[in-house]
A and B are shown apart, each in its own frame.
Chain A
Amino acid sequence: MPLMTVGVESVLEKIEKNPRFMSNVTFRHTIPAQEGVYEPIPPFLPDKLQELLMQKGITKLYSHQAAALNGVREGRDIVVVTPTASGKTLCYNLPVTQALLDDEEARALYLFPTKALAQDQVAELMEWSDKLGGKIKTYTYDGDTPGDARIAIRAAGSIVVTNPDMLHSGILPHHTKWMRLFENLKYVVIDELHIYRGVFGSHVANVLRRLDRICRFYGASPQFICTSATIANPKEHGEALLGRPVTVIDQNGAPRGQKDLIFYNPPVVNKPLGIRRSALLEAEAVAHELIAAKVPTIVFTRSRLNTEVLVTYLRKSFQKLGQPHETIRAYRGGYLPKQRRQIEQDLRAGKVLGVVSTNALELGIDIGSLQAAVLTGYPGTIASTWQQLGRAGRSKDSSLAVLVANSSPLNQFMIQNPSYFMDRGAEFARINPNNLYILVSHLKCAAFELPFVSGEKFGEMDPAEILDYLADQMILRKVEDRWYWMSENYPAVDISLRSASTENFAIIDTTDGTTKVIGEVDRFSAPMLVHEGAIYIHESAQYHIDKLDWERQKAYAREVDVDYYTDANLDVELKVLDVFEREELPQVKRNWGEVMVVAKTHMYKKIKFYTHENIGWGQISLPEQELHTTAYWFSIPREKIERLDGGVLQSALLGAAHLLGQIASLELMCEPSDLGVTAQIRSPFTEEPTVYIYEKYPGGVGFSEQLFEAHGRLLWRALSIIKNCPCPSGCPSCVGPVEEVGMEGKVHTSWFLKGVLTHGSDEQTAEIPTPTE
C-alpha cells in the first residue's frame, strides 16, 4: 500500500519541522527493515493441511514456524518467543491439527489468559476445521458456556479452548467428566506465557502441576506448545511454569518494515510542582496529525475511561473537519469477536483511521494493518511497550511509534533513559510456585481431585510435610499411605488465581444514582486510600468516599469538586522474622527475609491545594492490618550519619523510599502497588536507618530476593532520576513533593543514595551533580 507509506513519511517530515514538538522529543530512532527468513512447507504435513495453507495463500513458512513444527515432531516441549504479528498461531495450530487429522480420538487443550483471546482463537480454528472436513471439533469452555453445550464438549471436543481459571475451578475438580479429554490428551497449548508471572503465574504453575497429576492418572503425557512475548528469560520461566525442560525457539523469521520510534516528553507547565502537560492531550495531538494524514493509527491508553475520553476528543476535532464518527473507534475489553471483525474489516477498507484502545489489544488479537501506534504513558514494562509498539506495522511497510510519557517517576525514567529501554531488552518474568499460601491452596485442590500417595511429588517438591500438617488440621485424612480430602467444601471455589479479584476493595461511584465500579485498591492500602471522608482521585476526577463497607470490601464514592486532598497517616510497624540472605559492606548492609508488617491508620488530614494548608482532620477507626510476607531492606551504619541532623536524614529516607518503590516495580515487571515501602530512622531490628521494600502478597512471590540481587542497579537508577529531573527541589516525578521531603529533599536523597553506593569519601560525594546543574 504505497499510499499509506507516503502517509507515515509525510507525517514524520511534518513533525520534524515542528520545533515545538521536536523540543519535547527525547529520543528518535529508526529500526531498519528486516527480510523474512523462510523454510519450505515440510512434506510430512498431510495433504489436507497443505491444501489449507495453499488456500490461505501460504506457500512457505517463516523459519520459526518451521522450527516449531520440527521441535514438536521431535517430541519436545517448546516455547516460541517472537514479537507481535509474527504468525505465532501457526506454530501450534499446524502440529495440533496434524495430530488430530492422524488420530480422530486425539485431543488438545488450549489455554489463553483472557476470554477474548480464546474466542478469537476458536473463530479461527472453526474456519480451519471447516476446510479440513469438519472432523476437528473446537469448543470454548468458560463461564459463559451453557450447560447442555458442556456435555457435548466433554464428549466430543477435539480442541477445548479455555483459560487457567476454568481449568482450575471447573475442569480439574471434575476430571472424571472429562475422562475422554484427559485419556487422549496429546497437546497442551499455552499462549502468552509471559502473562503468567508474579502471583498469577505462581498460581498457574500449580494448576499445571495438578493438570500433570490428572494426566498421569489417565495415562496421558501431553506435549506442551507455548508462545510468549519477548521476555529476558523464556527458558527459565517456561521451565518454572511447566515444571519440565523446554526448548526455546526465538529466531524470528517474519519480515519487518522500517519502524521509526519517537519518545515524547510533554513540557513542564508548573515547575515548582513538577507538573507536565497531560499525556492524554499530547497523545491526542500526535494522533490527530497522523489520522489527518490518513495514516491508520492505534492509540493505547491506560484505562477504559481514558479510552472513551480520547475517542470523544478525536471525534469532536475531526467532526469540525467533516470526517464522520465511524472513522474513529474505541476498543476495549469486553468486545465480541464479531465487533472486532467489523473494526478489522473497516480498517482494511480504509473506513476506520483511528482505534483507541486499552491494553486489551496488546495481546495477540489480530486487529489488521495499522501504520502508527501512539502510547499514552509508559505501559509499565519494556515487554508490554514492545508489544504495543509492535501493533503498528504488521506488514512489510514502514511504521511509526510514539511513546508519550506522563509525569510518574517510572515514565520519566524511561523517557529520559532511552538507552535503558533499547539496550536492556525485556524484563525477567518470575514466579514462585512454592509460595506457601499458593502452594497449600493448590495442594488442597489436588487432594480433592485425587488422594495423595506417600512418596508422590507435586511438581519438583515433596508435599508430605504440608499434607501432614493439613491432616493435623483435619482438612485431609491420612489412612495407610494416602491422604484423602476430608471436608464438605469444594476448595477451588475459594481460591482465585488472580488474587486481586477476591481480596481487593472495589471503589463504587454512586454520583448519578447508579452504581459503577471505577477502581480497586488492595486490602492493605484500603484504610489509607478509601477510608470514610477520603478524597480519592481517579482519572484526575475527585471522589469523596461516603461509606466504606469493610466486610463486603466496598467503598462508595461520589464525584466532588473540592479544593483539598486528604492524606492519611499510615503507621507501619515492620518486624523482621527471619533473614534469608545478607551482605555487609562498610557503607551498607543489605538483606532479604521474612517480615511481619502491621499497619494502622489513625487519622487523616485535609490539605488545601497550592497553599498546602492543613484545613482539617478526621479520625479513622479501621482494623489493624497484618501482613506476613517477605521483604528486602538495606541499612546504613550509624557512624556514617553521626554528624547528621535528624531532619536531613528524615528527608533523605522519605525521598529514597518514594523513589525506590517506583523503581523497584520497574525492575520486577510488576505494578507499583504490588510493593510497599517504609523507612525507619532507627529500625528496632537493625538499629540503623533502614529502608524496607516489602511484598504486598502474603508470603511473597520472589520479588524480595530479586531486589536483593538488583540492589546496586536499583540505587544507581534512583540517582539518575534525581539527576535528570528538572524540578528544583523535589516533585512527584522524583523524590516526592517538597511538602513531604522538604526544600532540600533532592539534595539529601542524592547524598544518601550516593553514600550507600560508594564507600563514602567526600570526593565521590562531590561527583553527585547538583540539581541546578
Chain B
Amino acid sequence: MDLTSKLRRFLPPQSSQAPTAQEKSSDLDFYLRGQEVDTPFGSGYVVEERWPLTKRHGHWSLGEVLEAKYSALHPSSDEFSLEEALFLDTETTGLAGGTGTYAFLVGLGFFTPTHFVVKQLLMRDYNEELALLYLLDQELQGKNYIVSFNGKTFDLPLLQTRFTISRLGLEGAANKKHIDLLHMSRRFWKHKLPSCSLGSLEEHILGIHRIDDIPGMEIPGRYFEFLQTRNGSLLQDILEHNVTDIVSMATLLYRLQTTTELEPDECDCSFEAEALGHLSLIKGKHSLALQYLQASAQLTEDNEQYLRVMRQAAAILKRLGQYERATHLWQKILEISPDDLGTSEEMAKYYEHKKKDLASAEQITRRALALAWQKRSPKVSALEHRLKRIERKAQVSTS
C-alpha cells in the first residue's frame, strides 16, 4: 500500500471541501487599495491611509492629540514628541505564540505635520514574510518610541521571534523605548471597568463605538481562508479592525497623558485620583499623594474604594510620623468597617507603643482577637502574641 493511501486511512481528512484556490488575483487592490512594493527580499504589500488632523476619533480630534506634550508615560520620564513615536499593532495567525505563529499584518501609525498616517504591511502569503519584516525595519528607523497596546507581552516578542527566524540580521524593535498603553490603562481604570481591553476602553473612556467589528478570535481563520481562496474581500474587515486599533491607541495615549497632568482639585473621577495618588507615592511625593487620595475619598461612591483609599492614606501618614492624623483616619475606617482586623491591629500598635495606653490597647486587641477567631483568620496567633505581651507589660506596670 502506498504512503498516501495509508495516510488517508490512518489520518482521515478532517474536512472534505477544500476551497478552490484561484490564481493570485488583483482583487486585493480593489478591496484594500494597497500597493505592491519591491524590497531586496521580494515584493511586499502596503496599504496606506492618511487621516487629516481635523478628523475626530471619539471625544478628540487628531490635531489635539498631536499638539499635546508627552512625558509621563515612559519610565524615563523624558519629554517626547509624537513625531518620534510609532504606533504598532499586529494581526497574527494565532494567539498561542511560539515559533509557528506569524504576524501576517503589521499596522503602523505615525504623525506628519498634516496627517496621521496608518501604514499596514500585509503578507499576502508566507513567502512575503521577509519583505514585510524588511519594510517594518525601515519604518522603525528614525523612531525612538514604540507605542502599543499589550505589545510588551504579545506583539513585540512575536516580532522579535520573526526577526530571529528570518535571519536578515535586522535589529527590528529590539532597542526602542516602548510604551505599553495597557499597563497605564490598568493603573487608572482597572477598578472602574469590567475589562481593560481596548474595546472596553474605547467604549467607556474614549467615546468610540465600533460597528460590525470582526472578533479577534476569527481573524486567523479568515486569513487562512484568504490564503486558500485569494478572495481579497475577506481581509477588508481585518484591515479596518487594525486601523481602528491604531487610531484608538493615539487617542488613548492622549487621554492618559492629560489624565496624568490633572491636579488633585481637577480630578472628577475617584479611580483616576486614586491612581494618581499611587503614582505620586511612587515618585516620593507624599503630600501630593495624600491630596489625590483625599480627592478620591471625596469623589467615590463606592465603600470598598473609600476604605482602600483611607487605609492607604493612613499608611502614608503613619510613615510620615503623623500618628494623630493617621489615628483619625483609622477611627473613621473602623466606624464604617468595625471588622477590619488590619486597622484594629494598627490601632492597637498605636496605643501600645506610641500612646502607651495599655488598657485601650488591650481592649482593642481582645476585640480583634475575638473577631479573628470567628473568621478563622491567620492573624490569630499574631494577635494572641500581642495580647500576652500587653498583659505582661500591664502586670509589670501595676506591680
Contacts and interface: CB of A to CB of B under 8 A. Distances in A.
B160 interface: yes
Most chain A beta carbons < 10 A, residue from B4, B8, B100, B164? B100
Interface stretch (A278-286, A446-454, A509-517): A446-454
A208 interface: no
B159 to A, nearest CB: 11
A715 B220 CA distance: 57
Contact of B13 (A473, A480, A578): A473
A486 B4 contact: no
Interface in B121-163: 125-127, 160-161
B315 interface: no
Nearest to B100: A448
A473 B17 CA distance: 10
B221 A482 contact: no
A488 B221 contact: yes
A488 B220 contact: yes
Given A436-B10, A578-B1, A482 B100 contact: no
Given A176-B161, A179-B164, A466-B3, A628 B10 contact: yes
A474 interface: yes
A490 B10 contact: no
A451 B126 contact: yes
Contacts of A482: 126-127
A108 B238 CA distance: 44
B81 interface: no
Contacts of A179: 164
A176 B160 contact: yes
A489 B94 contact: yes
B93 A486 contact: yes
Contact of B126 (A449, A473, A484, A577): A484
B127 A173 contact: no
Contact of A450 (B1, B10, B99): B99
Interface string B56-86: 0000000000000000000000000000000
Contacts of B224: 474, 486-487
A302 interface: no
A473 B14 contact: yes
A751 interface: no
Interface string A434-468: 00110010000001111100000000000001100
Contact of B9 (A484, A490, A491, A628): A628
A488 B125 contact: no
B122 to A, nearest CB: 15
Given A176-B161, A479-B126, A486-B227, A449 B100 contact: yes
Nearest to B6: A436
Interface in A167-194: 173-177, 179
Nearest to A475: B14
A609 interface: no
B260 interface: no
Interface string A303-343: 00000000000000000000000000000000000000000
B215 to A, nearest CB: 13
A13 to B, nearest CB: 59
B359 interface: no
B7 interface: yes
A485 interface: yes
Interface string B1-42: 101101111110111001000000000000000000000000
A698 interface: yes
Interface string B96-139: 11111010000000000000000000000111000000000000
B292 to A, nearest CB: 32
Given A440-B11, A477-B126, A628-B10, A469 B4 contact: yes
B262 interface: no
A491 B99 CA distance: 11
Contact of B98 (A474, A490, A594): A490
A699 interface: yes
Contacts of A177: 161
Contacts of B370: none
A375 to B, nearest CB: 40
B228 interface: yes
B165 interface: yes
A177 B165 CA distance: 11
A427 to B, nearest CB: 28
A491 B14 CA distance: 16
Nearest to B95: A488
Nearest to A451: B126
A487 B96 CA distance: 10
A173 B99 contact: yes
A174 B100 contact: no
Contacts of B97: 174, 490
Interface string B319-360: 000000000000000000000000000000000000000000
B98 A173 contact: yes
Contacts of B1: 577-578, 594
Contacts of A628: 9-10
A472 interface: yes
Interface string B159-202: 01100110000000000000000000000000000000000000
Contacts of B18: 472, 474
B357 to A, nearest CB: 46
Nearest to A444: B100
A488 B7 contact: no
A457 to B, nearest CB: 15
A448 B99 contact: yes
Contacts of B3: 465-466
B10 A448 contact: no
A449 B99 contact: yes
Contacts of A466: 3, 7
Interface string B195-226: 00000000000000000000000001100100
A345 to B, nearest CB: 33
Nearest to A179: B164
Interface string A147-176: 000000000000000000000000001111
A490 B126 contact: no
Given A175-B99, A447-B100, A699 B10 contact: yes
A473 B224 CA distance: 12
A170 to B, nearest CB: 10
Contact of B4 (A176, A449, A465, A699): A465
A437 B10 contact: yes
Nearest to A491: B100
Given A437-B10, A447-B100, A466-B7, A488 B164 contact: no
Nearest to A214: B99
A469 B161 CA distance: 28
Contacts of A176: 99, 160-161, 164-165
A34 B398 CA distance: 82
B223 to A, nearest CB: 9
A421 B3 CA distance: 41
A489 B93 CA distance: 9
Q: Which of B11, B95, B97, B164 has the most CB of A within 10 A?
A: B11
Contacts of A479: 125-127
Nearest to A435: B10
B305 to A, nearest CB: 31
Contacts of B7: 436, 440, 465-466, 469
Given A176-B160, A448-B99, A474-B224, A487 B94 contact: yes
Closest 9 CB pairs of A and B: A448-B100, A488-B94, A485-B100, A490-B96, A484-B126, A176-B164, A176-B161, A173-B98, A488-B220
20 contacts: A173-B100, A174-B98, A176-B160, A177-B161, A436-B6, A436-B7, A436-B11, A447-B100, A448-B99, A449-B99, A450-B165, A465-B4, A469-B4, A473-B11, A473-B14, A474-B15, A474-B224, A486-B227, A488-B220, A493-B96
Given A179-B164, A487-B100, 20 more contacts: A174-B97, A174-B99, A176-B99, A176-B161, A436-B7, A436-B11, A447-B100, A465-B3, A466-B7, A473-B13, A477-B227, A479-B126, A479-B127, A487-B94, A487-B224, A490-B96, A493-B96, A594-B1, A628-B10, A698-B10
